[in-house]
Amino acid sequence: MIDIKFLRENPELVKENIKKKFQDHKLTLVDEVLELDNKNRQIKLNGDELRMKRNSLSSEIGNLMKSGKKEEAENIKKEVQSINEQLVENEKLEAKYAEEIKERMMKIPNIIHDSVPIGKDDSQNVEIQKYGEPIVPEYEIPYHVDIMEKLCGIDLDSARRVAGNGFYYLVGDIARLHSAVISYARDFMINKGFTYCIPPFMIRSDVVTGVMSFEEMDAMMYKIEGEDLYLIGTSEHSMIGKFKDQILPKSELPYTMTSYSPCFRKEKGAHGIEERGVYRIHQFEKQEMIVVCEPEESYEWYDKMWSYTVELFRSLDIPVRTLECCSGDLADLKAKSCDVEAWSPRQQKYFEVGSCSNLTDAQSRGLGIRIKGDKGNYYAHTLNNTVIAPPRMLIAFLENNYNPDGSINIPEVLRPYMGGTAKLIPKK
């Protein structure tokens, strides 16, 4: 959520930002907010005047009572009572306007960074850099589920019977590989100085609306029936929520944390959940990183964060590239974002395995996360980035470490988490 003061002073700039995101249907929100804000300020002013008048009359009642002028005092009491009734109605209007303003403000996108390329959708994202040489072997790379099945590592049929499409059972070596990758990513980030955390896997609605836009919420979140709880779509949600309504000591910043969690996503609007694949699914596990920092440090942290993901994938012998997300591909709260994509030798193209985002103060305003500064309190900046998200990452891992005989090489850095295993051998 952007600063309403900024919107008051720069309405045309806010509208131009909306146009850059190709969301022209939201342009009317700016004028609606300005109109409601003006009404709300008038109501507040009216309330202040009524309270001043009530205080003055209350003092007068005391003086009249002391002077024995009870009848006059009773008449003024009636006037005070009338003012109290007006104040009740005034406060109802104040709350109504405030809610209507908030509802609209939460739909207005964050101001994007000047460096963000202008484009309508992800087809216009811009490649920044490639890391590692993408190789296409002379032998055929099977579909990732076929590789897993030959290792007796996946059971999709049972998962469909139990939960439907978009779920899976990982078994044996593949399940162990999945856990090994998560453990390696955890230790990788701890070695970068991040604090490890396992957060709540459910959050309340006021946290949900603070960390994401209404559009994302509707497309992603599973609601717990009969309770004010949602299953998290990523641990970023509960990790940023950890700081809700907190005033953070400046001396303790930045907060750098890496978190493990399962993730649950409806994938509403996706073009079908795969029946056989594990690329787009309803449930997966993830190692995430978040940073809460001083505003002037957030873009420095942004560059560090995505570079950690690149470094981790390269340590597993997986070629990757980074893509700058264009304006139309940015979620509403994001000021700047880049994707990390891994090379698929089977498809001979890159595909997304992680995303790094700077949300500046958009989440902090929604959640009330402030820094206690020398000259007053101000909003922190928040960032998040995928460290690793198997099983999607396993697709890249299996394809890039696949041998002609169907065996899978285990990179040296991962072997301690696999009991020293250097190679997975097919069982079928």
Provide the pLDDT for residue 418: 97
How many angstroms separate the CA atoms of 299 and 369, rounded? 18
Q: Which residues of 145-183 are buried (b: 16+ CB within 10 A; e: fewer)?
A: bebbbbbebbbbeebeeeeeebbbebeebbebbbebbbb
Question: In this structure, what token pair is assigned to residue 193?
Answer: 């100085």
Provide the pLDDT for residue 275: 58
Report residue 1's pLDDT band, with 50, 70 and 90 as the boundaries. confident
Residue 375 has pLDDT above 80, yes or no: yes
Report residue 292's pLDDT band, with 50, 70 and 90 as the boundaries. very high
What mean pLDDT comes out for the span 85-99? 90
For the chain, residues classed under CATH 3.30.930.10 are: 122-424
Report residue 274's pLDDT band, with 50, 70 and 90 as the boundaries. low
Provide the pLDDT for residue 136: 92
Residue 262 has pLDDT above 70, yes or no: yes
Question: In this structure, what token pair is assigned to residue 371?
Answer: 């820094």
**Crossing angle of helices 11-20 and 27-66, rounded to 10°:** 140
Report residue 269's pLDDT band, with 50, 70 and 90 as the boundaries. low
As a whole number, the mean pLDDT across the chain is 92
Provide the pLDDT for residue 84: 87
Question: In this structure, what token pair is assigned to residue 68?
Answer: 């024995």
Residue 59 has pLDDT above 90, yes or no: no
Least trusted range by pLDDT, from 9-18, 52-61, 136-145, 404-413: 52-61
How many angstroms separate the CA atoms of 336 and 305, rounded? 13
Secondary structure E strands in 149-236 = 154-155, 169-170, 195-197, 202-203, 222-223, 230-231
Provide the pLDDT for residue 219: 81
CA torsion through residues 79, 85, 90, 95, sign: positive
Report residue 270's pLDDT band, with 50, 70 and 90 as the boundaries. low
Asked if 3 and 68 touch (Cβ cutoff 8 Å), the reply is: no
What single DSSP character describes residue 113?
A: P
Residue 74 has pLDDT above 80, yes or no: no
Selected residue with higher pLDDT from 391 and 311: 311
- Locus of tokens 């045309």: 12
Stated as kind and residue range, the H or E segment containing 421 is none
Beta strands 202-203 and 230-231, pairing class: antiparallel
Peptide bond into 254 cis (omega under 30): yes
The CATH number of domain 122-424 is 2.170.190.11 = no
Q: How many CB atoms lie within 10 A of CB 415?
A: 15
Neighbouring-strand partners of residue 261? 286
3 state DSSP class of 410: coil
List, in order, residues 6 or more apart from 380 with CB less than 8 Å away: 243, 248, 253, 292, 293, 294, 295, 361, 364, 369, 370, 371
Neighbouring-strand partners of residue 248? 371
Provide the pLDDT for residue 278: 86
Provide the pLDDT for residue 153: 95
Beta strands 255-264 and 195-197, pairing class: parallel
Residue 329 has pLDDT above 70, yes or no: yes
What single DSSP character describes residue 330?
A: S
Residue 63 has pLDDT above 80, yes or no: no
Neighbouring-strand partners of residue 40? none
Provide the pLDDT for residue 324: 98
Q: Which residues of 240-271 are buried (b: 16+ CB within 10 A; e: fewer)?
A: bbbbbebebeeeebbbbbbbbbebbbbeeeee
For the chain, residues classed under CATH 1.10.287.40 are: 4-105
Provide the pLDDT for residue 268: 61
Report residue 171's pLDDT band, with 50, 70 and 90 as the boundaries. very high
pLDDT tens, residue by residue, 184-221: 999 999 999 999 999 999 999 999 989 987 778 888 89
Superfamily of structural domain 4-105: Serine-tRNA synthetase, tRNA binding domain (1.10.287.40)
Question: In this structure, what token pair is assigned to residue 174?
Answer: 């593949």
420 vs 20, 232, 407, 415, CA distance in Å? 52, 34, 16, 5
How many angstroms separate the CA atoms of 376 and 185, rounded? 38
Provide the pLDDT for residue 70: 74
CA torsion through residues 415, 417, 419, 423, sign: negative
pLDDT tens, residue by residue, 218-227: 888 999 999 9
411 vs 405, 415, 420, CA distance in Å? 17, 7, 10
